[in-house]
Structure 1
């Protein structure tokens, strides 16, 4: 079973279909990619600021460990421990970053896959959302504009992910 937290952007659309498209599902659990190479794991999750912080912190820690005259084996063990810790905490960092940018947590959902988690969440969430008049009359297919393709990262400073 996998667990996802569901987050909504700070300025959600008025239509429940638009709001549903904008939701972000953040998987809770260990990230092998982040444990093996944290900068790539951070970039894969759109956390470019943490990528820069990792490089600065790794350089500073490497300098401190060399100043303390620790051997390369001990330095490797220290970085291994840090990378494993980051593998466990990547989802927490992503949720924290979403919260800092104004996103709201809507809930937690579990299932066997992302598809099942999305289905379970929307089955309980959609009935509580308001229906727009055109959607209630059965005209939602003709008046709804196409959904834009999402590219990039919502944390990237050069544009939004919409």
Structure 2
């Protein structure tokens, strides 16, 4: 079963609000990266990797041509390099995302990207719901205690002028 890593952009503190910008990168072999590497790298906007790939292919092909290697060997080396790009395509995407200051949020195992999104967001909303719905109330200070000198809450409230309404009209009086 494929493994996906989930990445979120980090920009101005609004990174986790824009969930539509999350990137799900599948680990494993990418067929189109191996078959059409230049187009795949440009499609995913991996510009530094694209420049590096062009330089690598140019250097390898120039080195093979300079050394007088046959066309079959050159083709075999290019096929091996294409397979290497197919296997390392996900790593290049993760590297580019981390270089752009994206952070990895989670790792999800799923059959396809849609299922990975569903599993990730189910877990993510449960985790955020527990953290966000803690019903703690700020009381503003410590609980009142008696006989603490210098603190206004340590004194009992003053007795009203007209007496006390209730069962005991005078404080401290006998019943």
TM-score tier after normalising by the smaller chain length: 0.7 to 0.9
Hey, what does 1:36 align to over in structure 2?
35
Q: Say yes or no: does 1:13 pair with 2:14.
A: yes
Give the 5 Å matches for 1:102-117.
102-117=101-116
User: 4+ residue stretches of structure 1 with deviation over 2 A?
Assistant: 127-131
Unaligned runs of at least 5 residues, structure 2: 133-175
Q: Give the number of the structure with larger relative contact order, counting CA–CA contacts within 8 Å between residues 6 or more apart.
A: 1
Residue of structure 2 equivalent to 1:72: 71
- Determine helix, strand or coil for the equivalent of 2:74: helix
The corresponding residue for 2:94 is 95
Would you say how many aligned residue pairs link Structure 1 and Structure 2? Answer: 130
Q: CA deviation at 1:20?
A: 1.8
Q: CA–CA distance in 2 between the matches of 1:118 and 1:78?
A: 37
Instruction: State the 1:31 CA deviation.
Output: 0.9
TM-score by length of 2: 0.68
- CA RMSD between the two structures: 1.9
Show structure 1 runs of 5+ residues with no match: 132-162
